[in-house]
Structure 1
Amino acid sequence: MPTSTANGIVIPSAADSKVYHNLRDFLTELEANGQLVRVKDEVDPEEIGAAGRASANLKNGPAVLFEKVRGYRNPVVTMVHGSWANHALMMGMDKDTSVKDQFHELNRRWSMYPVPPVVVDDAPVKKNRVTENINLFEILSLYRINTYDAGCFLSKACIVSPDLDEPESHGKTNLGTYRMQVKGKDKLGIQALPFHDIGLQLAKAESMNKPLPVAICLGCDPITTFMASTPIRYDQSEYDYVGALNNGVPMQITKAPQTGMMIPAGCEVCIEGYIEPRVRECEGPFGEFPGSYSGARLQGVVRVTSVSFRDNPIFENLYLGIPWSEIDYLMALNTSVPLYQMLKDTFPEVQAVNAMYTHGIGVIVSTKVRFGGFGKAVAMRLLTTPHGMAYNKVIIVVDEYVDPFNLEQVMWAMTTRVDPDKDVSIIKNCPGMPLDPSSNPPGMHNKLIIDATTPKPPEAVCRETELLVAPAGTERWEGIIANLVKKARG
């Protein structure tokens, strides 16, 4: 039977949870909740990016399924994770669940890790397979996402890759999302940055002068795709986390036909091949998550040797552009919760972390303050986490009574708690995210910490501050007025 959290969120038990083991079941759920629209008329591939941008511009915009794409045989879907309503439905919650409540529920499930996956032998993705004369354009309805992209990109692939020192390691087998440029019928470019898990694996492979096997899975179930873009420890299993985020229901995996690596059983397409050792080719430009083009860089090359796919496979890709777009919803809470867990482990006073802005380039931390300078110490710890080291650039620390997901409250703290002379700190010459156009040179950041907490001794406290509290009866009147509004709106 369902239970309730302390703050009143209804939590389904594992038996009651809605769990989607493939993309198609989730699309059915989205459509039933008015969060998916079908485009039945034939569309030009170049229109799909515009449709993704248009849906992102709407409040709680829907996923968009294109049934007929000119020049191709198979359908395309975008914006599957592109709203808070879709995000809530992914977790089996009501589509109107608040962002803060989704954060706390995700954090609760996070603590259920590990929930190991189950292996299934038969999976629809194994129904069809091509190993000779491979042509990705015959299987995927590829398109350019933004106007000046260098070509067609896979922006939502779940890429499985091993640690060649321990190829059988369950924990060190990586599931990650990295952008991939389609450079030919059987050739892809891949961005594997040094601080990415796959970047570490590629460095190991190249030290041995060996190719790095990859299984590129497209159109996975929504939680698997969510986890593939989540920063966790190198030795932690994304598959074990999928089971946890499914509220204790194990993920289903199956053996890839060629490489033998374990892949999501519910995926639409599995592209197998290898990253060539010590080979780099020009890749990009590409419209990236900071809302700007990344420019062209030398990146790794993937040779495709096998493609397996379901009947009539759906090509799922995400739209990314000036925030907010689908990628911001996809990477919002799965960036926030891991950072919260890491901070909470060191500083139990931390209440919540909002790292929803540009993959955590901007972060707001809510914490109780034990003594003077505590807020800065929390921010410094954030900058030593694996994700925070590269991504976190602007950190705002607020008191525990400030909701970090409520920007009005955050701005109140900023305007009434910050003395620019003592509460603003700049740390120069730190690791950074090269896709951030402000990083100079690319991959280096100056970090900004804003301590918007209330001063405590031994810090000088010039005057006492007594907070206002809501008048008695406020909560009762909230209910009365909400009911009156509901009646007035029919």
Structure 2
Amino acid sequence: MAYADLREFLATLDRNGQLLTYSEPVDPEPDLGAAARATSNLTDRGPALVFDNINGYERGKARVALNVVGSWPNHALMLGLDKDTPVKDQFFEFARRWDAFPGPVERRDDAPWQETTLTEGIDLFQLLPLFRLNRYDVGTYIDKACVISRDPDDPGNFGKQNVGIYRIQVKDKDRLGIQPLAAHDIGLHLRRAEERGENLPVAIAISNEPVITTVAGMPLAYDQSEYEMAAAIQGAPYRIAKAPLTGLDVPWGAEVVLEGEIIAGEREIEGPFGEFTGHYSGARSQPVIKVHRVTHRSAPIFEHLYLGMPWTEMDYTLALNTSVPLYRQLKADFPEVAAVNAMYTQGLLAVISVKQRYGGFAKAVGMRAMTTPHGLAYCKVIIMVDETVDPFNLAQVMWALSVRFHPQHDIVTVPNASVLALDPSSDPAGITHKVILDATMPIAPEERGHYSQQVDDPAETATWESIIKGLLK
């Protein structure tokens, strides 16, 4: 199931009825953002969208891909699974493949993005059909590209070369704004470069196959390579190529590669931008990238990520790559953890199922989740459920909350904890109270309530689930 590039994955989506190509004329704004928003509004099984007739650009020379991994069928196909694979099964398959980390990396010098090179007269507005996603975005953005940087203090360490997804505002023909939070690896790289009085070289790979963009959004350890994780997830060596100006390793199958540097000490206002929280982020002083070299395929496809009020492609893309790392980190400390659903607003809310050892145990697991690398900036609301409750089945979760949660005994509040500044409820930005809602069944020594007569499934229910699933296909 290893996809060489975005085009190969789009072909797979097409064969599976999960791609719509629209060839009627469209305006970049508001049509493209509206189409992606409409697809997410209508269904959680929506197709990817490709537009090849965009007003203002030569037909066929400017193509935009949206909603590429914007549904559970598309996410399953990314993993090489049947498009009807249930979400919970995708979660455990993703977690199983993690065991293959670190996977092998294959360096190649025949990358298709080497077709055309620009070092002078760079104009990103001519190269890409840029457009605003939401009406009050300050400008156009590149928001699904892989940004590659390395640790200036340890440049030869392959694991410390970071591949991340960061929002990038196109400020001028060859000038970009970027939001590298201090907690992100690139934020650490930039701080170390600026302490040395140096610019930070970066490469930006636009329009990649979906596994690397999924892994680039995962909260991996600082010295864990995203390319080696992508190899583990796709089950085959991951192809990379060296960017000629910076020497950084970039995905072999990218459509466009921008090379440049974050200018040390330089900051400009960036934003507002409609974010994954469903609110605009406001404007903040952020670093600036100067682009020095562009290399690209002929007639490159521009893949863009629509985000706004959940659910959008952002939520599908980050659902399991957030849930699985949190699951792995918790399970290392507490083997009783059965599953983690951190799909909601990038894990600001998480549902964790656990087999309790004793009364109060679930609350301790919830506290640990808040101190994981991802939990420090997210995990504002944690719902704990028993291992018999499927955290991916909201009907079961709501049932547990309604009959097992006691408001007097089962709320744990952590005051003035850290959270990402984009959380619109944080006050001041980056600080919030966090809460654990314990919806597990009380056990000794915390015995209360009347839980001795739970209704179980009739005999042969599992058999009939299989029969009916087959009939529905």
Shorter-chain TM range is: over 0.9
Q: Distance in 2 between matches of 1:142 and 1:266?
A: 21
Shift of the alpha carbon at 1:461? 3.4
**Which of 213, 218, 228 is 2:216 aligned to?**
228
Aligned runs of 1:334-483 on 2, under 5 Å? 334-479=321-466
TM-score (norm 1): 0.94
Deviations 1:190-246 (A, max 9, x none): 001111111111111111111111100001111011111111111100000000001
Shift of the alpha carbon at 1:68? 2.0
Aligned runs of 1:288-367 on 2, under 5 Å? 288-367=275-354
Deviations 1:421-461 (A, max 9, x none): 11011111111111111111111121011011111222243
Residue 21 of structure 2 aligns to a residue whose secondary structure is strand
1:43 paired residue number: 26
Q: Distance in 2 between matches of 1:84 and 1:240?
A: 24
Q: Distance in 2 between matches of 1:209 and 1:146?
A: 37
Q: Distance in 2 between matches of 1:90 and 1:164?
A: 33
Shift of the alpha carbon at 1:482? 5.4
Residue 275 of structure 1 aligns to a residue whose secondary structure is strand
Q: Distance in 2 between matches of 1:200 and 1:162?
A: 10
Shift of the alpha carbon at 1:42? 2.3
**Which of 217, 234, 257 is 1:246 aligned to?**
234
Q: Distance in 2 between matches of 1:474 and 1:83?
A: 28
Amino acid at match of 1:65: V
Is residue 379–residue 395 contact of structure 1 (8 Å, CA) maintained in 2? yes
Cα 1:479/1:348, change in 2 over 3 Å: closer
**Which of 102, 113, 120 is 2:101 aligned to?**
113
Is residue 62–residue 82 contact of structure 1 (8 Å, CA) maintained in 2? yes
Q: Distance in 2 between matches of 1:235 and 1:412?
A: 41
Q: Distance in 1 between matches of 2:338 and 2:81?
A: 22
Q: Distance in 2 between matches of 1:483 and 1:388?
A: 39
2:180 paired residue number: 192
1:95 aligns to 2:83 (yes or no): yes
The root-mean-square deviation of aligned C-alpha atoms, in Å, is: 1.3
Deviations 1:70-122 (A, max 9, x none): 22342111110100010000011111110000001101101110002100011
Amino acid at match of 1:64: L
Cα 1:155/1:484, change in 2 over 3 Å: closer
Is residue 126–residue 257 contact of structure 1 (8 Å, CA) maintained in 2? no
Greater alpha carbon shift after TM alignment, 301-310 vs 449-458: 449-458
Shift of the alpha carbon at 1:463? 4.4
Cα 1:123/1:412, change in 2 over 3 Å: same
1:144 paired residue number: 132
Shift of the alpha carbon at 1:55? 1.2
Cα 1:145/1:460, change in 2 over 3 Å: same
Q: Distance in 2 between matches of 1:284 and 1:485?
A: 47
**Which of 49, 63, 79 is 1:75 aligned to?**
63
Cα 1:477/1:127, change in 2 over 3 Å: closer
1:53 aligns to 2:37 (yes or no): yes
Cα 1:480/1:275, change in 2 over 3 Å: closer
Shift of the alpha carbon at 1:481? 5.1
Cα 1:274/1:377, change in 2 over 3 Å: same
Residue 445 of structure 1 aligns to a residue whose secondary structure is strand
Q: Distance in 2 between matches of 1:280 and 1:333?
A: 34
Q: Distance in 1 between matches of 2:472 and 2:63?
A: 42
Cα 1:480/1:218, change in 2 over 3 Å: closer
Q: Distance in 1 between matches of 2:144 and 2:465?
A: 42
TM-score (norm 2): 0.97
Q: Distance in 2 between matches of 1:485 and 1:40?
A: 33
**Structure 2 unaligned residues grouped into runs of 5+:** none
1:65 aligns to 2:50 (yes or no): yes
Q: Distance in 1 between matches of 2:266 and 2:472?
A: 63
Q: Distance in 2 between matches of 1:483 and 1:288?
A: 40
Residue 202 of structure 1 aligns to a residue whose secondary structure is helix
Q: Distance in 1 between matches of 2:472 and 2:196?
A: 67
Shift of the alpha carbon at 1:278? 1.4
Cα 1:417/1:310, change in 2 over 3 Å: same
Shift of the alpha carbon at 1:20? 0.3
Shift of the alpha carbon at 1:474? 2.5
Aligned runs of 1:176-215 on 2, under 5 Å? 176-215=164-203
1:5 paired residue number: none
Cα 1:420/1:54, change in 2 over 3 Å: same
Residue 277 of structure 1 aligns to a residue whose secondary structure is strand
Identity of aligned residues (%): 53
Residue 384 of structure 2 aligns to a residue whose secondary structure is strand
Q: Distance in 1 between matches of 2:221 and 2:362?
A: 25
**Which of 5, 9, 15 is 1:32 aligned to?**
15
Residue 147 of structure 2 aligns to a residue whose secondary structure is strand
Amino acid at match of 2:5: N
Amino acid at match of 1:235: D
Aligned length: 468
Q: Distance in 1 between matches of 2:472 and 2:80?
A: 28
Residue 351 of structure 1 aligns to a residue whose secondary structure is strand
1:3 paired residue number: none
Shift of the alpha carbon at 1:392? 1.1
1:161 paired residue number: 149
Q: Distance in 1 between matches of 2:467 and 2:267?
A: 64
**Structure 1 unaligned residues grouped into runs of 5+:** 1-17
